[in-house]
Structure 1
Amino acid sequence: MTGWVPPPYPYDRLDAVAALADELPGGRVDLSIGTPCDPTPPAVLAALGEGGAAAQGYPPSIGTLAFRQAAAHWIERRLGATVDARSELAACVGTKEFVASVPLYLKLRDPSRDTVLYPAVSYPTYAMGATLAGVRAVSYSRLDEIAPADAARALCVWVNSPANPTGELDDLRAAAAWGREHGVLVLSDECYAEFTWSSPAHSSGPTTILREGVQGVLAVHSLSKRDNFAGARIGFYAGDPELVHYLREARKHAGLMAPGPVQRAAVVALDDDAHVEVQRRRYWSRLQVLADLLARAGYPAPLPDGGFYLWAPAPDGDAWAAAHDLARRAGIVVSPGEFYGPEGKAYFRVAAVQPDDRIELAASRV
């Protein structure tokens, strides 16, 4: 019997690099996976521990009304868009499961289409979601370069701003317009929305595709990065009411429910912006230290327009050689760019996700 064989999980391929970094006094400083390292706000943890009745019964798959209202208020307050909490927004169990599963539900909705379009250098789960749904994964570098035949077969097109791994900010207005012109659902992954930076080249606050209206678009948001709440697995999607309704109903049958106490705590997290400003300062400071570290090690990298990653070109295009070199010299573990698609193979990603003292340790080694 033959069938699909799951490929190695990208970060599992870093064991040899991590072993090199562990040889230095103080051990590795792991900057490969973008997992938060800072404390979850105490008020959020307190709400999580006071779940009470929220833990006793099954939570609503679509999210409690309190959670949906908190998410809608956050979108309006921080992103400058308006959605209806009752009909245009629903919960998901962390956004990775949504990214991985939504092509399957879209294929069931429209069997005449069989393609997921996604950025050529991007979060690998966009392509994996297509694979798991048994449809085509077709990458693009620019929306206006997508072949008409691929657009005609597309179930959806992914955009990601700020982008993982590059830190670029997409033109979300253009993305919404392209999707509507071609009749293709635009899925906008915005989990780093509150981590945008000002620079001479670009100055922008948080934004969302929902500013362009909800027709034909869905924005996907996570509390993992914003609130250091990744272990709780909670996020939401918002946009076109017809699609939100369809996905709500389909996901109920799969038993996809964010735990009740987590939804309760998420309300507290979404209602508070002060801790996000603290987190923004942490990430920006770390990005600057890491950029200096890389420059002194011979790997200059620009500061990003958004997100908390550095996307560094590898000399001679050999990202694996750079990863081994940085592990030996600085004890840091970075991600070769091929994890994010073949077009990223000449780069590597550095995540600002270790405490300041660990990053300073790595900087002192160079």
Structure 2
Amino acid sequence: MSERHAAFVPPPYPYERLGEIIALADKHDGGAVDLSIGTPCDPPPADVLAALTAGDTARGYPPSIGTPALRTAAADWLDRRLGATVDPDTELAACVGTKEFVASVPQYLKLRTPGQDTVLYPAISYPTYEMGATLAGCRAVPYTDLADIADADAQRALCVWVNSPGNPTGELHDLDAAARWGRARGVPVISDECYAEFTWAGQPTTILRAGTDGVLALHSLSKRDNFAGARIGFYAGDGELVHYLREVRKHAGFMPPGPVQAAAVVALGDDAHVQAQRERYLARLERLVDVFAALGYPATLPHGAFYLWIPAPDGDEWRAARDVAQRAGVVVSPGEFYGPAGTGFFRVAAVQPDERIALAAARVGA
């Protein structure tokens, strides 16, 4: 088969490449302390779980766009916590967790604007931004700063992704500036804000505070509510774009399960459990700074999210990952998982229970 017509071969899933690191860490008494994948470890609120079994929501097909109750709860949360106003009837819809949205939206935008073929995404970022473009047959073009994006790439862009607080770095970005950049060029800006509640430097915010024209904000209950296994989130913003995505996603069969939608209504209405979770993550991050300092890896608290982004002293993040696995029994993510620009760093997720982090600390005398 010629190279021009070569079939797409999916690359190895990043976290499936950690077998050697996990095996090294698992040799310790008590086993590996896995801080590689950002999966929540704490329980969702009891009333959220109870809502999963209440009523008749499992009987019929759920609305793809989200029930009126869910859309209202999401809009109320955006207003109450992030200071943005959207119309739940025309500017907001549900999705089956946000990863599927990230992975599929370039395909639908390409159908909407077939003359454009480029997805712009942060050079150090969640790998699904790039993979979503690849799966749609689009050009995936990384950027380090919006101001540095070439005019030719902006003219071809289906969308530009921003992520604040950012994964894996925890950086906060100027979302107002991102909205202005996109509007000036006619490029939809999609702002992944799934860590918004875990903003440590300042207050949680959203791109929607700059208005809905030309922008979408993407939110998930996975991190905010420890509800990753339920697969529920929502997107909100530009009414025309929301309407288009609602309609194509109906045809594609994306429907968050009815019981999950009912539970999400309860979760979005409760801020107290989120504050408790904020305190847990911040305490874990502070403890992990001490753990890695004891290992000789200087770390600082992020401005947002629940990750440490730590430089490998010699620029070899895989060597650093093996080192911390051997000495502390801790599994981390090498920075190359987040793009070539992430080389030389590794990510630490504060997602193990306190007693597991205490075990890692005891191993290194932190």
Coarse TM-score class (shorter-chain normalised): over 0.9
| Counterpart residue number, 1:351 | 349
Q: Whole-Å Cα distance in 1 between the matches of residues 202 and 150 of structure 2?
A: 31
Q: Which residue of the partner structure matches residue 41 of structure 1?
A: 45
Structure 1 residue ranges, 4+ long, deviating more than 2 angstroms after superposition: none
Q: Secondary structure at the match of 1:228?
A: coil
1:44 aligned partner, one-letter code: V
One-letter amino acid of the counterpart of residue 52, structure 2: L
Deviations 1:47-68 (A, max 9, x none): 0121x32100000000000000
Number of aligned positions between the proteins: 360
Give the equivalent residue in structure 1 for 2:332.
Answer: 334
C-alpha distance in structure 2 between counterparts of 1:160 and 1:260, whole Å: 29
The answer on 1:321 being equivalent to 2:333 is no
What is the match of residue 240 of structure 1?
A: 238
For the pair 1:308 / 2:306, whether they are aligned, the reply is yes
CA distance in structure 2 between the aligned counterparts of 1:319 and 1:115, rounded to whole angstroms: 30
CA distance in 2, matches of 1:150, 1:301: 35
Task: Give 1:48-87 correspondences, 5 Å limit.
Answer: 48-50=52-54, 52-87=55-90
CA distance, structure 1, for counterparts of residue 220 and residue 256 of structure 2:
12
The within-5 A match list for 1:113-152 is: 113-152=116-155
Q: TM-score scaled to structure 1, two decimals?
A: 0.98
Q: Which 5+ residue runs of structure 2 have no aligned equivalent?
A: none
Within the candidate set 212, 220, 223, 1:222 is matched to 220
Cα distance, 1:302 vs. partner? 1.2
CA distance in 2, matches of 1:118, 1:183: 16
Instruction: State the match for 1:285 in structure 2.
Output: 283
The one-letter code of the counterpart of 1:298 is G
- CA positional deviation for 1:43: 0.4
Q: Counterpart in 1 of 2:176?
A: 173
> For 1:304 and 1:273, how far apart are their aligned partners in 2?
22
Percent identical pairs in the alignment equals: 74
Gaps of 5+ in 1: 198-202
Three-state SS of the structure 2 residue aligned to 1:236 is: strand
Match of 1:24 among 18, 25, 28: 28
Tell me how far apart the structure 1 counterparts of residues 156 and 49 of structure 2 sit (CA, whole Å): 45
Partner deviation per Cα, 1:100-149 (whole Å, 9 max, x = no partner) = 00000000000010000000000000000000000000000000000000
- For the residues of structure 2 that align with 1:86 and 1:40, how far apart are their CA atoms? 28
SS for the counterpart of 1:6 is coil
Distance 2:64 2:56 in 1: 16
Aligned AA (1:306)? G
Q: Distance in 1 between matches of 2:226 and 2:53?
A: 16
Tell me, in whole angstroms, the C-alpha distance in 2 between the residues paired with 1:317 and 1:303.
Answer: 20
State the partner residue of 2:18. Answer: 14
**Matching residue's letter, 2:31:** G
Give 2:196's aligned residue. Answer: 193
Q: Look up the equivalent residue of 1:180 and give its one-letter code.
A: R
Q: Which residue of 2 aligns with 1:101?
A: 104
Task: Read off the aligned partner of 2:168 and give its amino acid letter.
Answer: P
Residue deviations 1:238-263, cap 9 Å, x none? 00000000000000011000000000
Per the TM alignment, residue 76 of structure 1 is displaced from its structure 2 partner at its CA by 0.1
